[in-house]
Amino acid sequence: MTTTDSTTRSPTRSATQTQVAQAEALVKAQQFPAALQILHQCLTLQPTDRQSLYLKAVCHRYLQDVSQAIATINTLLATYPEYARGYQELGHCYRIQTKFPEAISAYQMAVQLHPGLLASWQQLSHLFSVLNEPKLVQEAQDKIHEIKALPPILGAAQSAFYEGKIAKAERLTRDFLMHQPSHIPAMRLLAKIAIKLNILEDAQILLSSAADMAPHSTDLQLELIQVLQKRQLFDQAHTLAHTLFTDHPDLPLAELALANQCVAIGQTEQALPHFDSVLEQLPSHAPVFVQRGHAYKTIGQPDAAITDYLKACELKPDFGDAYWSLANLKTFSFDNALINTMMKIVTQPHVQIMDKYHICFALGKAFEDKADYAQSFAFYTQGNDLKHAQLNYHAADTSQEMQAQIAHCPPAMFNQILSACKSAAPIFIVGLPRAGSTLIEQILASHSLIEGTSELPNILALARKLKGRYKSDNAYPANLASFSAAELTQWGDSYIADTAIHRADNTPFFIDKMPNNFRHLGLIKKILPHAKIIDARREPVACCFSGYKQLFAEGQEFSYQLNDISQYYDDYVELMTHWETCFGDNILRVQHEALVDDLEGQVRRMLAFIGVDFEPDCLDFHKTKRNVKTPSAEQVRQPINPSAQHQWRHFAPYITSLTEHFKRQDEQTL
């Protein structure tokens, strides 16, 4: 587990850093006017330099110019809204102004972003004492004791981690563990680093070992549950969460962990009483209302979901996920009061980037519903740009990965060594997000012999495992032809066994609706040669723009720029053409527009492909009661709306790059 921190330094940048170091030394020597002179020069060259802005605010505070200090912090946080020390400095300024509620809020944001900020915890302890909040005082005191107990090198590693200097944090932590290999705080920090680097197996090993050494630490077990879920080890995560709750029935976070793990394995109705219990103990905890709202949405109770989402907005007015959750129902209409609230929040400098882009997407949906398409597109664009800036997505890398599938998975490979797994139960519905896959799943899951599950992560997890330990390994898919029949059979049998936890009915067939599985159909047919594959295809502009309007919970990094999403669609079509060459009639393409225009004909066609008799319930799919987690949950609980497929035309003046791209392609194929 290794990484590097690298930045490109221009001569101007290097000179600024030298001056900043000089200014920092002057601040430590309490020579604030002299420091300000240097910082002014630095900010003339680099107006958004983070350390210069931070030190300038510190100088102004010590010189008792608190208003100027706050103005500087506002500039700082507008550019670096996740900089913990900026919020700590803001807390200091508000404390001087005796604005104690504002100071507490700033300090709390600081320790949320960087739990190791001792000064923030100390000030919180003092302020909570003034407000006569003994429980909160004790919590702050516990954190102070924990931080002070850390060896200096580990404290430095922790600070480096929370300030984004991952390589430095890993180096310091590993050096410390070389001398004290059983130091639990160090093991936890290294596990956090591993999670950050997406090396989840290392994180699991570290946390499991630490939990064995400290069996009474509920924090360690909670962190381990989260890692197990990230690794798609749902059965283990649920078992551990159940054990933790049994041992600590009065601990709200233990019960919340159990509720979330029940949802993860499809036991959503069993999760609801646990969410209720948690909220009785934590009635002001906005995220839990959103989590319970998601559960209500999944089981088809949108009114209850709306009530919970609105409560979360009330408790935490800048909680972007709560507003987006309302929009993501696709059936909720924002009133003017909520729209005005969101419009105000999204312009505030201290609002986190994540909250801002969630609110932007919600505003995009709100104005679309009001037929103000110019305003709607402006907010969709702002949200997409903010989200895209948080990612490290390069379309060329994705294109290269799909080309590798074509190069390393020739048709002849599937006439050679295959798995001996006999199961014909899986039905894989693949394609792009927002292409109609949830509708197909709902239709098929209305059949008595077919069970709908969810977007199962098992194939993607196996592909990551085969790729190698580190991103740079890239062993897969070149290694796909080298595996033995025994290995392929083991993976096929494991897929059937591991996905059983998501199945409630003992039907002959079940659906795996992970759209991105289209990138791994070679792997699927090697380990599950009898699996059925349905390609959910949608008209390109409608599909791409629908994806652009959607803020996904995770993944789908290609969807936040129009050029990226059109390139991804092209790559998808090219790869699916290759898979059709490999597997022929073993893939059924279902065009969304054809399904909308001729529901019964397409339903009969799909059922014949699977090998089951027609059942009328499949035409009344919207009446089927089942859990649906995807954004289309409420849409598939209603009859088909043919007009929905043309909604993109309202935005035609703003998406010419998309429409022209596919128009050129159409002309080239004529």
What residue spans define the domains of the chain?
11-152, 397-641
Q: How far apart are CA 433 and CA 128, in angstroms?
A: 47
466 token code pair: 């085969």
559 token code pair: 């969807």
Instruction: List pLDDT tens digits, range 457-494.
Output: 899 989 988 987 655 567 899 999 999 999 999 999 99
Quickly state the pLDDT bin for 505 (edges 50, 70, 90): confident
Place of tokens 């104005």: 367
**Mean pLDDT, residues 268-289:** 94
| Residue 484 CB coordination number (10 Å) | 9
The residues near 17 (Cβ < 8 Å, ≥ 6 apart) are 9
pLDDT surpasses 60 at 665: yes
Residue 510, strand partner residues = 426, 451
**Mean pLDDT, residues 500-526:** 92
* Residue 502 confidence (pLDDT): 84
Choose between 122 and 79: higher pLDDT. Answer: 122
Q: How far apart are CA 383 and CA 550, in angstroms?
A: 10
Residue 454, strand partner residues = 512
* Residue 637 confidence (pLDDT): 52
- Residue 44, exposed/middle/buried by CB under 10 A (0-12, 13-18, 19+)? exposed
* Residue 8 confidence (pLDDT): 44
Instruction: List pLDDT tens digits, range 605-653.
Output: 999 999 999 999 999 888 776 555 555 555 555 667 666 667 899 999 9
203 token code pair: 């994180």
Instruction: Report long-range pairs for 645-652 (Cβ below 8 Å, ≥24 apart).
Output: 645/539, 645/542, 645/592, 645/593, 645/596, 646/542, 647/542, 647/546, 648/541, 648/542, 648/545, 648/546, 650/368, 650/371, 650/373, 651/373, 651/376, 651/377, 651/545
Instruction: List pLDDT tens digits, range 27-80.
Output: 999 999 999 999 999 999 899 999 999 999 999 999 999 999 999 999 998 888
Q: How far apart are CA 151 and CA 141, in angstroms?
A: 18
Q: How far apart are CA 584 and CA 582, in angstroms?
A: 6
Residue 589, strand partner residues = 535
pLDDT surpasses 60 at 190: yes
**Mean pLDDT, residues 278-292:** 94
Inter-residue contact 118 to 144 (CB < 8 Å): yes
What fold characterizes domain 11-152?
1.25.40
Q: How far apart are CA 494 and CA 623, in angstroms?
A: 33
pLDDT surpasses 60 at 7: no
**By percentage, how much of the chain surpasses pLDDT 70?**
93
| Residue 155 CB coordination number (10 Å) | 17
DSSP for residue 509:
E
Inter-residue contact 63 to 33 (CB < 8 Å): yes
Place of tokens 């050029």: 563
Asked if CATH classification 3.40.50.300 holds for the domain at 397-641, the reply, yes or no, is yes
Nearest to 535 by CA among 572, 496, 582, 564: 572
Residue 429, strand partner residues = 534
Residue 450, strand partner residues = 509
Q: How far apart are CA 287 and CA 580, in angstroms?
A: 44
Residue 300: helix, strand or coil by DSSP? coil
340 token code pair: 């005005």
Q: How far apart are CA 425 and CA 270, in angstroms?
A: 27
The residues near 415 (Cβ < 8 Å, ≥ 6 apart) are none
* Residue 6 confidence (pLDDT): 44
CA distances from 493 to 149, 426, 524 (A): 49, 12, 12
Nearest to 213 by CA among 247, 187, 174: 187
Q: Which amino acid is at 259?
A: A
Inter-residue contact 460 to 519 (CB < 8 Å): no
* Residue 609 confidence (pLDDT): 97
Chain centre to alpha carbon of residue 216: 30
Instruction: List pLDDT tens digits, range 201-214.
Output: 899 999 999 999 99
Q: How far apart are CA 513 and CA 317, in angstroms?
A: 34
Place of tokens 């699996």: 531
**Torsions phi, psi for 398 (to 5 deg):** -65, -45
Place of tokens 């679309």: 368
pLDDT surpasses 70 at 250: yes
* Residue 664 confidence (pLDDT): 82
Query: Positive or negative, the Cα torsion across 331, 335, 341, 343?
Result: positive
Q: How far apart are CA 44 and CA 491, in angstroms?
A: 60
Quickly state the pLDDT bin for 564 (edges 50, 70, 90): very high
Mean pLDDT taken over the chain:
91
Residue 87: helix, strand or coil by DSSP? helix
CA distances from 256 to 309, 448, 469 (A): 17, 34, 32
pLDDT surpasses 90 at 104: yes
